Amino acid sequence: MVSSDDIRDLLRDSGWLTVDASELSENDDLYAAGLTSHGSVNLMLALEERFDIEFPEQLLRRRTFESIGAIRGAVAGLLGGTAAA
């Protein structure tokens, strides 16, 4: 299972955002919070390592990483064996 707080913790410790991740809501725009495309690649790698998953090519796009909710949805889909769109 994956919770929004798992993702928040990962973001807070990473230094990829310019704001404190614990203050972000489920739907806040992470790109407006300082996430760059370089940062989103590293975020994906960290998620793969943390949850022992692999993101398929069709999820490697901007929208997948745009909010904590979107990331949680994608990770949950991969953990459940169904890739969330």
Partner 1 sequence: MSGPFARGASTAAEVAGRHADSVDRDARFPAETFAALKNERLLGAMVPRDFGGEGASLTDMAAVAHALAQRCPSSGLIFAMHQIQVACLVRHGQGSAWHRDLMARLAAEQLLLASATTEAGIGGDVRSSACSVEGDGDGDDGGFRLEKQATVISYGVEADAILVTARRKPDSPPSDQIIVPVLKDQLRLEAIGNWDTLGMRGTRSIGYHLRAEGVRAQIMPLSYADISAQTMLPVTHILWSSAWLGIASDAVARAGAFVRAEARKRPGTQPPGARRLAEVTARLQTMRGMVRGAIAQFEEASGSPDRLTSMGFAVAMNTLKMSSAEMVVRIVEQAMLVAGLSAYRNDSPYSLGRHLRDAHSAPLMISNDRVLGNTANLLLAHKDNGSLFG
Query: Which positions touch partner 1 (CB under 8 A)?
Result: 18-19, 31-38, 41-42, 44-45, 55, 57-58, 60-63
Q: Name the nearest CA neighbour of 11 among 66, 61, 56, 60.
A: 66
Say if CB 46 and CB 8 are below 8 A apart.
Answer: no
Q: Is 2 or 39 the residue whose CB approaches partner 1 more closely?
A: 39
Residue at 54: amino acid letter = E
In the complex, the smallest distance separating the C-beta of residue 56 from partner 1, rounded to whole angstroms, is 8
Residue closer to partner 1 (CB basis): 60 or 83: 60
Q: Is 10:50 a contact under the CB 8 Å cutoff?
A: yes
Nearer to partner 1, 8 or 66 (CB): 66
